[in-house]
Amino acid sequence: MKIKEGFILRKCGEADIVVPIGANVEKYKNIMITLSGTSRMLWDALVKGCDEEALVTLLLTTFEGVDEAIVRRDVGNFLTTMKKAELIDE
């Protein structure tokens, strides 16, 4: 999976914001997504291209002692949200 072309992450104060660029501006003119620290980490991994299992592994190795089932659920929810917003190429 990879983040689709036409979206960029920008820092706005303390917030990480995803906005459409180029040809996507008109289609997604009302979309602006704010990422938390963890979702920013997942976004950065998706920019490079990875699968769901790699995202789970990233979080499990970054945050010691977290419950794997919860991480899998949260990564799944994140990916579902990103797919609904049409931000991911599979």
pLDDT tens, 2-43? Answer: 998 899 999 999 999 998 998 888 888 777 789 998 999 999
- Token pair for residue 80? 């579902």
pTM: 0.87
- In angstroms, the first-to-last Cα distance of the chain is 4
What are the phi and psi torsion angles at 19 (to 5°)?
Answer: -135, 155
Residue 27 and residue 20 in contact, taking contact as beta carbons nearer than 8 Å: yes
Q: What are phi and psi of 15, to 5 degrees?
A: -95, 145
Residue 63 buriedness (CB in 10 A; 0-12 / 13-18 / 19+): exposed
Which tens digits make up the pLDDT trace of 28-87? 877 778 999 899 999 999 999 999 999 999 999 999 999 999 999 999 999 999 998 888
